Amino acid sequence: MFRGQTTMKRNFLMGAAALASLATLSACGGGAGSDANAPAPAETTAAVEAPAATETPAAAAAGATLEYASFTTDAAAGEKAFAACRTCHVFDEGVNRVGPSLHKIVGRKSGSVAGFSYSDANKNSGITWTPQVLFEYLKDPKAYVPGTKMAFPGVKDDQKRADLVAYLEAQSK
């Protein structure tokens, strides 16, 4: 292989790595802190942009709120859905990344993790993170708490979202 080809190949690979890093950071709004175990951007996109195939047409048509308790949940499947969250969040107490620690998230007040710089919207929301509230919030965080810093677009698939909440519940015990 010629010297020029080696340099070109190395530059191409470095550019691809930089693009992958940028895509991963943009999935959660960018910023410092990353997780070495974070999924590849393509995997994150697939988990996030799945269609809401499990929503009941009657509930959707009526504009009714789906109840988290009405789902049969699978925390193991929720752990897979959490892969999209790992870029910004961990369960370790006191460890904040781009997002706050999710240590014992269920039952906690919004905006209460020490050392994390929350938006005023989150700090002043008065939300307590119950399973039902998490289920509704994680569908579209920016719509649920207008002004939040969380750039995550949400989990539109109701069953995946219910599984994710079950996983968050299991980690909160």
Cα–Cα distance measured from residue 108 to residue 143, given in angstroms and rounded to the nearest whole number:
20
Q: Domain with 114 in it: what CATH number?
A: 1.10.760.10
Q: Which domain holds residue 70?
A: 3-171
Q: Tell me: the pLDDT tens digits for 5-16?
A: 666 666 665 555
pTM above 0.85, yes or no: no
Q: Tell me: the pLDDT tens digits for 149-162?
A: 999 999 999 999 99
Cα–Cα distance measured from residue 27 to residue 30, given in angstroms and rounded to the nearest whole number:
7
Cα–Cα distance measured from residue 107 to residue 125, given in angstroms and rounded to the nearest whole number:
15
Number of domains in the chain: 1
